[in-house]
Amino acid sequence: MSIVEMIERLGALVIDGVAQLGAFVLFLLSAVFYVFVPPFKPRLWIRQTRIIGADSLFLIVLIGAFTGMVLGLQGYNTLRRFGSSGALGTVVALVLVRELGPVLAALMIAARAGSAMAAELGSMQSTEQIDALTVMAINPVQYLVSPRVLAGVISFPLLTSIFDVVGIYGGYAVGVGLMGAPAGPYFNGIAAAMDSHDIMTGIWKALVFGVVVMWVCCYKGYHAERMATGVSRATTEAVVLSSVLILAFDYFLTSILL
Amino acid sequence: MSETEINHSDGNGATVADASSGGNAIEVRDLRKSFSHQQVLDGITLDFPAGRITTIVGPSGSGKTVLLKHLNLLLRPDSGTIVIDGVEATKISGRALDAVREKFGMLFQAGALFDSMPIFDNVAFPLVEKTRLTTPEIAERVHETLRAVGLEGMENKFPSQMSGGMQKRAALARALVRHPKILMLDEPTTGLDPTRTGAIHDLIRRTQENFQLTVVMVSHDVPAVFEVSDRVAFLHNGRTHLNGTVAEVMAADDEVFKRFLAGKASGEDEAAVAG
């Protein structure tokens, strides 16, 4: 391969990458734009909020409880070495509210609701249901994507808050109930050490993760290839990319909000 | 390969408007489209007379489906024009584009029914989303349309609970429920046995007569589909190879078309298969 051919291929790759990135960003802008453009379909985003939010509740409670229990166990054993087991509540709450709550809740929702969303839209793409909407003069982004993005923005902070609360009680059950950490300082310490900035840090992260997960999962499903492996590939890519972006955005948001 | 306009021609592959049929519902002029340097449509010029069933046939890869996706405005051409019901449709967007789309109903190859909805909701969907009809009016229209396609009593079934033929009929009901002027059908009998194929063809003819529709149909199902068609356009290599009434096309002394009818590969196809 000559140098000119190599440069041509490299150039083609760069152009293709920039075009895909542009399409990816425009997809989100379009979805957000159509949230504010009539006709408004409240039943669509209520349905999506139920699918993303209510249907994920059991999973979020389960994971939140076990996460808090592990934090209670590890936190108690670590703090006891320094004679600080009274700070267990503060540690569990801060770790959950600022960091683990938004990240783990987002990863769980991406795995459960995000993958289902990518598969559903991918299936609709491969069976021409999205084309059918277009031919009926119904904007498919407005009908399919905007309600999901809006539902994500509503559901993620709510689910994250539930995850945090359940996790704090899980930490209490194990740290105080099982391991014998002092009960009084657990909740008193949380009230004293945690302020609104800590809570808002978690909420902002949940909001951003909500948009990111819905954006990625809808994009991947919407643009699934019309072939046998198209839906499965779209679903896998949606979950992997969502997870990577959740962790990457978590770092940048933590840097900004610290 | 030269284009052949068998009858009613203006000399450029286009059909001269027939006064008895009310002119052309769709006029395609010099339509070109390529994908990744492959020319799929290579200057298609074709008319679809109003109130007639025009069937587009041709071997795989001849550009039938791509042409249909231009006619229903899912794809934009590289060049050329498409006039639908008097509106030049290739350069419009937004509400103007929606207004043109609302003139036609489309039956997709696989039906494209929404599998999360029962048949009633599927058929009602265009009315719910695009009209201001009341719920009883919508229900009446849906029942009336389902009755017309022979699916009365199937309102609560989901698409997955129905046979292929019933799904096609349900999809046809959805395409018809808004009383479109133009009906586009993409391979309406693919995957059906000969009995059901005949039933669908009868339904298409009956529906066209009842609603006075202009029907554009893409089909592989030759020669059976000719029984239901008024006109036939035979595409080959992205061009309109033959175009005329069924009788004219069938009588044409054209080697490529005869090989297609006989199910024999063209010389080019044989070379491609041979590698």
Give per-residue pLDDT as tens, B223-235: 888 889 999 999 9
Is A29 an interface residue toward B (CB < 8 Å)?
no
Can you give the pLDDT at residue B88? 92
CA angle B235, B238, B76 (to 5 degrees): 115
Q: How far apart are CA A256 and CA B126, in angstroms?
A: 47
Q: Is any Cβ of chain B less than 8 angstroms from the Cβ of A16?
A: no
Amino acid residing at B185: L
**Beta-carbon contacts of residue B271 (< 8 Å; ≥ 6 apart):** none
Q: Which residue has the higher pLDDT, B220 or A154?
A: A154
- Angle between the N-to-C axes of helices A88-95 and A183-193, in degrees from 0 to 180, rounded to the nearest 10: 50
Helix (H, G, I), strand (E, B) or coil at B110: coil
Query: Is the Cβ of B104 closer than 8 Å to some Cβ of chain A?
Result: yes
- Residue A9: band (very low, low, confident or very high) from pLDDT cuts 50, 70, 90: very high
Is the pLDDT assigned to residue B37 strictly greater than 60? Answer: yes
Write down the domain spans for chain A.
44-257
Say yes or no to pLDDT of A251 above 80.
Answer: yes
Query: Which residue in B164, B229, B220, B224 sits closest to B187, CA to CA?
Result: B220
Domains for chain B: give ranges and CATH numbers: 4-103+182-187+213-274 (3.40.50.300)
- Per the CB < 8 A criterion, the answer to whether B26 and B231 are in contact is no
- Contact B61/B265 with Cβ under 8 angstroms? no
What SS3 class is residue B261? Answer: helix
CB contact under 8 Å between A128 and B112, yes or no, is yes
Beta partners for B240? B235
Name the residue among A123, A124, A134 with its Cβ closest to that of B74.
Answer: A134
How many residues are recorded in chain B? 275
Inter-chain CB proximity A137 and B108 less than 8 Å: no
Write down the pLDDT at residue B10: 38
Note whether B115 contacts A132, CB cutoff 8 Å. no
At B165 the pLDDT is 84
- How far is the C-alpha of B78 from the C-alpha of A205, rounded, in Å? 45
Per-residue pLDDT of B158-179, as tens digits, reads 999 998 888 988 999 999 899 8
**B109 touches A at CB < 8 Å:** yes
Enter the tokens of residue B129.
């989303």
Residues of B in contact with A135 (CB under 8 A): 72-74, 101, 104, 106
pLDDT in tens, B108-134: 988 899 998 999 999 999 999 999 999
- pLDDT digit string, tens, across residues B16-25: 334 344 689 9
Question: Among candidates B263, B112, B80, B78, which has minimal Cα distance to B184?
Answer: B112
Please state the three-class secondary structure of chain A as a single string.
CCHHHHHHHHHHHHHHHHHHHHHHHHHHHHHHHHHCCCCCCHHHHHHHHHHHCHHHHHHHHHHHHHHHHHHHHHHHHHHHHCCCHHHHHHHHHHHHHHHHHHHHHHHHHHHHHHHHHHHHHHHHHHCCHHHHHHHCCCCHHHHHHHHHHHHHHHHHHHHHHHHHHHHHHHHHHHHHHHCCCCHHHHHHHHHHHCCHHHHHHHHHHHHHHHHHHHHHHHHHHHCCCCCCCHHHHHHHHHHHHHHHHHHHHHHHHHHHHC
Cβ under 8 Å to B: A residues 36-95: none
- Per residue in A123-134, pLDDT tens? 999 999 999 999
Count of C-beta atoms within a 10 Å radius of residue B38: 9
Residues of A in contact with B102 (CB under 8 A): 137
Residues of chain B contacting residue A127, judged by C-beta atoms under 8 Å apart: 110, 112, 115
Contact B110 A138 (CB under 8 A): no
Query: Which residues does chain A have within 8 Å of residue B68's beta carbon, measured at their own beta carbons?
Result: none
- From CA B97, how far away is CA A197, in angstroms rounded? 49
pLDDT value, residue B14:
42
CB A172 within 8 A of CB A186: yes
Task: Residue B111: count other Cβ atoms within 10 Å of its Cβ.
Answer: 25
Q: How far apart are CA B49 and CA B102, in angstroms?
A: 19
How sure is the predictor about B271, in pLDDT bands with cuts at 50, 70 and 90? Answer: low
Whether omega for the bond prior to residue A182 falls within 30 degrees of 0, making it cis, is no
Query: Residue range B184-198: average pLDDT?
Result: 84
* Interface check A227 vs B, CB under 8 A: no
Is a pLDDT exceeding 60 seen at residue A92? yes
Tell me the per-residue pLDDT of A164-211, one tens digit each, with 9 for 90 and over.
999 999 999 999 999 999 999 999 999 999 999 999 999 999 999 999
Both tokens assigned to A22? 């542009």
Given a cut of 70, whether residue B270 has pLDDT beyond it is: no
Contact B10, B56 (CB under 8 A): no
Q: How many A-B residue pairs are in contact by the CB < 8 A criterion?
A: 42
Q: How much is the pLDDT for B223?
A: 82
Name the average pLDDT for chain B.
85
